Amino acid sequence: MLLLCRALRRICAAGRPPSRSLMELRELVPALNDFASLSLAESWDNVGLLVEPSPPHAVRTLLLTNDLTEQVMEEAVQKNADLVLSYHPPIFAPLKRVTWRTWKERLVVRALEHRIGIYSPHTAYDAVPHGVNNWLSKGLGACTSVPLHPSTAPSHPTEGTHRVEFCADTAENLETVLSKISDIPETFCLTTLPVRVDGEEQTRVSLNCSQKALLEVVALLSQNSLLYRKTEIILLQKPLLPHTGMGRLCTLSEPASLSDIIERIKSHLKLPHIRLAMGTGKTLDSPVKKAALCAGSGSSVLKGMEADLYLTGEMSHHDVLDAVANGISVILCEHSNTERGFLSELCDMLTVHLQNKINIILSEKDKDPLQVV
């Protein structure tokens, strides 16, 4: 009966049969993950598909919101959304029960009752080059930017996390050692190379291994003091991903006064006001050449960065004091005000990325909970 009512509501609301354009959730979620890899999210974050109706689940309408409140969930029901993409994860701390008692539990209940999935990208969208921080940087005017905390690739370019190298100046027992190394699980790329060291013919041995295998390799080599003394252990670094990471350090093409920057940001974020902490020795006419920014809550990301200006949604009182004492002005716009405007760009990008297969709409009920009175 519930599914029938939903279908009838969909037909009545549109004045015509529902669009044939759709994607199965099992197809849509990987496509969303391709748009911004969840491996880029911070380790503490809770990202991806958080609520899944029983399959199969067809998605015709995707609702974008910054925060999934009960008001936004009711909007999703009324607009017949099949999936809500909520930038902030509505489920963060583990739920021990799903009842009607708390608002976050009620979100899950309502979502499942109306067969609405919930997906959250959060800090994965912060990190990607085409994400929230890139959008926020446009409020400064023409500039170039680099991540404050660059992201690394999810895996090493070669197998293993460590490289072990050693030289043997005698073939005696070397074959036995190499055979034993080969038998250790998670050892890779074992190679030997004849070399001349200090005029003597030697064999250079190189191998990659995991952290677990490293302990066994070292234990084996330590049984031969001569080999062990000549052993080098190299930690393999994951490569940095270009233009990807948390926060942005922006260098303006032309310096601008602090007052001009304020007006640009207010215009970009469509805000009548912002909060300003003036850096020591600075005025509204002081030039801004470099700005460090972080959408949302920027204290941990911006801390210690050298810039003329910090731009973020919120910072702790004492972190603001530290910045001001160091001559850095701080602009605070409230947490979600530095994120929500990105959704309009996201709507356009996802429409292209998903090849216009589904309807993508923006929430009209989503808003920052704080207001000036």
Residues annotated within the binding site are 88, 126, 335, 339
> Is 241 within 8 Å of 36 (Cβ atoms)?
no
Q: What angle do CA 58, 61, 67 make, to 5 degrees?
A: 115
Instruction: Using CA atoms of 62, 312, 129, 138 in order, give the dihedral in degrees to the nearest 10.
Output: 90
> Which amino acid is it at 290?
K
d(CA 316, CA 324): 12
Burial of 182 (0-12, 13-18, 19+ CB in 10 A): exposed
Binding residues for a divalent metal cation: 88, 126, 335, 339
Q: Kindly report the backbone phi and psi dihedral angles of residue 38, in degrees, each rounded to the nearest multiple of 5, phi listed first.
A: -65, -15
- Residue 322 to residue 325: CA distance in whole angstroms: 5
Q: State the Cα–Cα distance between residues 311 and 343, nearest whole angstrom.
A: 19
* φ, ψ for residue 290, nearest 5 deg: -120, 135
Which of helix, strand or coil describes residue 318? helix
SS3 letters for 213-258?
A: HHHHHHHHHCCCHHHHHCCEEEECCCCEEEEEEECEEEEEEEEEEH
Beta strand pairing call for 287-297 and 309-314: parallel
Locus of tokens 């109706």: 53
- As a whole number of angstroms, the distance between CA 125 and CA 244 comes to 10
Encoded tokens for 271: 């805000």
User: Could you say which DSSP state residue 141 is in?
Assistant: -
